[in-house]
Amino acid sequence: MADDVTTSVAASPATSHPQPATAGRASAARPAVPARGGRRAASSRVRKRLEIAFFVTPALAIFALFVIWPILTAVQLSVYRWKGFGPLVDFVGLRNYVSVLTNEVFTDSLVHNLVIVVMSIVVQLPLGLAIALLLNRKMWGQGLLRTIIFVPYVLAEVIAGVVWFQLLQPQYGVLDTIMAAVGLQGPAQGWLGDPDVALWTVIVVLTWKYLGLAVILFLAGLQGVAEELYEAAQLDGASWWQVQRRITIPLLGPTLRTWAFLSMIGSLQLFDMVWILTGGGPANATTTMATFLINEGTRRQNFGIAGAASVILFVVALVMALAYQHFILRRDTRPDDGGRRAARPRKEATR
């Protein structure tokens, strides 16, 4: 996403200098370019305004109604004690926030989310990159293989979750059976029943579900690396590994960074898979912020608590996104060593 902003900003000549993290907004002050065919009378400007309004209003209306308004309402609910009926009268200030942040279930959820964010990237990045590099060659059945790799990603999380739930059952689950056949034994309460193991099991299933996306995106990024670079490197006597390390991976930089961003946001919002696999259990060992707030909001009718949890979830996502964007922008505007070089060719191309 961050790349989007930079690209579109960089593409317009008026604002090609490096932008701070809040870039997009700044260019609102861009000098108005005279309309094609010369500046006309004021009526033409009014007409233009009306046209813009005509095009943007429907999207903005449903966005405001179904996204912005509910979020603002969540903020409002977060300072009341409210059980879902009657007027909002029981103003409690920040007490909901205090009670959420001192609730061990929630802080554990936050930690689970962060573990999932980190593990998703740490596991899927090298694994996805390795598979993508290996598959980025003419080989028999390549198209079929790419399709196969894409399968878990297009499955609904719920459906993947239901299938895995069966595979992971203790005793009659297929995983335990296979392990027993080679003399190993899974946890006694099952992979999803043991509080020490459950979160890691969920992470394994998530890896299965989303590794394919990483591979496909990386492969698509690899297609963008110009053939001539490989040829030149080969003529210079570079080995396969050198070519990957010095050319391919750096040029893949923007793809990798934005994939990691998408992965991070997805991990922070995780709900479906956990809800199906464990429902947050056992003993709250796999709760996420999303399962916490759904639980509070819809099962216990603690709308104020759920509101506060929503706001905290959003703030966490926003802070991490801004930090990440800042990180990306720094890399994209100051290309000097190592992986930073990655940004340069792309930047030049957009100018």
Partner 1 sequence: MTAVVTAPPSTPPAPGAEPRRRRGGAYSGGNPLVYCIALVVAALTLGPVVYGVLGGFRTNAQLAQAPAGLPDPWVLTNYTGVLTNPSFWQYTWNSVAIAVITTAVVVVFGVMAAYPLARYEFKGREGLFMVFVVGLLFPAAVAIVPLFILITQNLQLGNTWLGVALPQAAFALPMTVVILRPFLMALPKELEEAAMLDGASRIGFFWRILVPLSGPGMVTVGVLAFVGSWNAYLLPLLLLQSDMKTLPLGVADFSSEHSADTAGVFAFTTLAMIPALVFFLAMQKRIVNGLQGAVKG
Query: Distance between CA 128 and CA 214 in Å, rounded?
Result: 6
Rule CB under 8 A: say whether 74 interacts with partner 1.
yes
- For partner 1, the binding residue among 246, 281, 314, 340 (CB under 8 A) is 314
Q: Which one of the spans 72-80, 103-111, 189-197, 335-343 is the region binding partner 1 (CB under 8 A)?
A: 72-80
Within residues 182-241, the interface with partner 1 by CB under 8 A covers 208, 212-213, 216-217, 220-222, 225, 227, 230-231, 234-235, 237-241
Nearer to partner 1, 122 or 134 (CB): 134
Q: Which amino acid is at 166?
A: Q
- For partner 1, the binding residue among 317, 333, 339, 340 (CB under 8 A) is 317
Query: Distance between CA 108 and CA 300 in Å, rounded?
Result: 19
Nearer to partner 1, 122 or 159 (CB): 159
Nearer to partner 1, 88 or 122 (CB): 88
User: CB 186 → partner 1: shortest distance, Å?
Assistant: 12
- For partner 1, the binding residue among 118, 226, 283, 318 (CB under 8 A) is 318
- For partner 1, the binding residue among 41, 141, 182, 351 (CB under 8 A) is 141
Nearer to partner 1, 91 or 240 (CB): 240
Number of residues lying near partner 1 (CB under 8 A): 128
Within residues 246-305, the interface with partner 1 by CB under 8 A covers 248, 254-255, 258-259, 262, 265, 268-269, 271-272, 275-276, 289-290, 293-294, 297-298, 303
Rule CB under 8 A: say whether 151 interacts with partner 1.
yes
Query: Distance between CA 212 and CA 131 in Å, rounded?
Result: 10
Nearer to partner 1, 93 or 241 (CB): 241
User: CB 310 → partner 1: shortest distance, Å?
Assistant: 5
Within residues 152-191, the interface with partner 1 by CB under 8 A covers 152, 154-160, 162-167, 172-174, 176-178, 181
CA dihedral angle for residue 196, residue 197, residue 199, residue 203, rounded to 10 degrees? 150
Contact letters for partner 1, residues 80-99 (x by CB under 8 A): ----x---------------
User: CB 154 → partner 1: shortest distance, Å?
Assistant: 4
SS3 readout for the chain: CHHHHHHHHHHCHHHCCCCCCCHHHHHHHCCCCCCCCCCCCHHHHHHHHHHHHHHHHHHHHHHHHHHHHHHHHHHHHCCECCCCCCCCCCECCCHHHHHHHCCHHHHHHHHHHHHHHHHHHHHHHHHHHHHHHHHCCCCCCHHHHHHHHHHHHHCCHHHHHHHHHHHCCCCCCHHHHHHHHCCCCCCCCCCCCCCCCHHHHHHHHHHHHHHHHHHHHHHHHHHCCCHHHHHHHHHCCCCHHHHHHHHHHHHCHHHHHHHHHHHHHHHHCCCHHHHHHCCCCCCCCCCCHHHHHHHHHHHCCCHHHHHHHHHHHHHHHHHHHHHHHHHHHHHHHCCCCHHHHHHHHHHHHHC
User: CB 285 → partner 1: shortest distance, Å?
Assistant: 20
Contact letters for partner 1, residues 1-40 (x by CB under 8 A): x-xxxxxxx-x------------xxxxx-x-xx-xxx---
